[in-house]
Amino acid sequence: MFQIKICGITNVEDARAVARAGADAVGLNFYAKSPRAITTDQARAIIRVLPSDMVKVGLFVDTPPAEIGETFDRLGLDLIQLHGDQPPEFLTLLGGRPVMPAFRIGPAGLDPVVAYLHACKGMSHKPAMLLFDSYKVDCYGGTGIGLDISALSDYRQQTGSYKIILAGGLTPFNVANAIQTTYPDGIDTSSGVESSPGHKDAAAVAAFVNAAREAFRRIKI
């Protein structure tokens, strides 16, 4: 669905910078406790300036399913990114809308991911893709902490055919190595291209997108 996503867009100026840089997707954060949180009105203004083919992802943390569905439909989002403690059964409450659960890969490695996917078997609705993020207690993304790449050494064998999006401390300086080491389907960054929390640095965004594009091109040669 996308290869390069810039998350935590909070204003129109940053949205335009991300579009100019050539990213495939933007993340809109509806978690009120985040420094990157926005309202639906702010999200609507951001969406208006985005190219029609850019993937618009709504980020939610432990939000009631009815509220997620209403926001998704009202804004015309393309994907739901779930952070928090929702069980696999939560997916069935979202009315068939595409969902990307985020997993913070910590001391337990991929075991929670495997257990989650096992529980999804036989369900009518499964994740559209999976996001692997770094782990920090009580934090749901945007921490700037690097993901332990060594924990992903055999992730393809454990996750099967699911598309994997890599996040966690990615910057213009390390994204190429992360892509060439783990071969993900896509990558995601937020704090790694910011001048301050919630404010993107246009030059860093452009450098990140360029580095990621070149790395993806190289792994496909």
Q: What is the pTM of this model?
A: 0.92
Tell me the pLDDT tens digit for each residue of 190-217: 999 999 999 999 999 999 999 999 999 9
Clarify whether 133 is annotated catalytic. yes
Neighbours of 49 (CB within 10 A): 12
Confidence label for 122 from pLDDT (cuts 50, 70 and 90): confident
Active-site entry in 53, 133, 188, 201: 133
**Dihedral pair phi/psi, residue 156, rounded to 5°:** -65, -40
Confidence label for 134 from pLDDT (cuts 50, 70 and 90): confident
Active-site entry in 7, 14, 24, 78: 7
User: Is the distance from CB of 3 to CB of 185 less than 8 angstroms?
Assistant: yes
Determine if residue 142 is left, alpha or beta; phi over 0 gives left, psi from -120 to 50 gives alpha, anything else beta: left
Clarify whether 41 is annotated catalytic. no
Number of domains in the chain: 1
Helix (H) or strand (E) holding 57: strand 55-61
Domain of 212, CATH number, reads 3.20.20.70
Which residues contact residue 106 at a Cβ distance below 8 angstroms, ignoring those fewer than 6 apart? 135
Tell me the pLDDT tens digit for each residue of 21-72: 999 999 999 999 999 999 999 999 999 999 999 999 999 999 999 999 999 9
Q: Give me the domain span that covers residue 35.
A: 4-219
First to last CA, the chain: 21
Rounded CA separation 67/63 (Å)? 7
